Copies of this chain bind each other. A is one copy, B any other.
Amino acid sequence: MSLEEKLVREMRKRGKKVTPQRRFIFQALEKESDHHPTAEEILHTVRQTLPDVSLTTVYNTLHNLVEMELLREVDLGEGMTRFDTNTDIHHHLLCKRCGKLVDIHRQFRNVFLPPEDAHGFIITSHQVIFEGICLDCQMKAGMLKQ
């Protein structure tokens, strides 16, 4: 089942309307699932087929999906939110220079807060963010001694 089909079903299940705009947003999410698109990027893709879609609609739909837990918001302090169709636990590696973002699908077994360090919180999730400099940026900066 494609992502589009899945999301359409979930929308219907919850009595939400399935508009053409939403269908194309679902398709864009599927198409760009590999690189954590921003709302602007989704808008751009959707407008290739539906030129009058508004940014508000994109945000509205993405937020709906997040609420339905079918989409994950990823905020790495870049000044904008990225959206990730992979809602499984995974981590991120971010290039400080160019903003390139890579998924890390490895688990870190130790990352767990024992009750005495949890300050009474109910912990619902955790995320590891690695920061560094990607190959391209090392190249550009002449950091690679070839």
Contact = CB atoms under 8 A, between A and B. Distances in A.
Nearest to A128: B128
A127 interface: yes
Q: Is the interface of A mostly helix, strand, loop or mixed?
A: mixed
Interface residues of A, number: 37
Contact of A111 (B96, B110, B143): B110
The 6 closest A-B pairs by CB, nearest first: A75-B77, A110-B110, A120-B135, A123-B132, A121-B132, A126-B130
11 contacts: A75-B75, A93-B118, A95-B121, A102-B119, A106-B117, A110-B110, A111-B111, A118-B132, A120-B138, A122-B133, A124-B131
Interface of A: 73, 75-77, 81, 93, 95-96, 102, 104, 106, 108-111, 113, 117-135, 138, 143
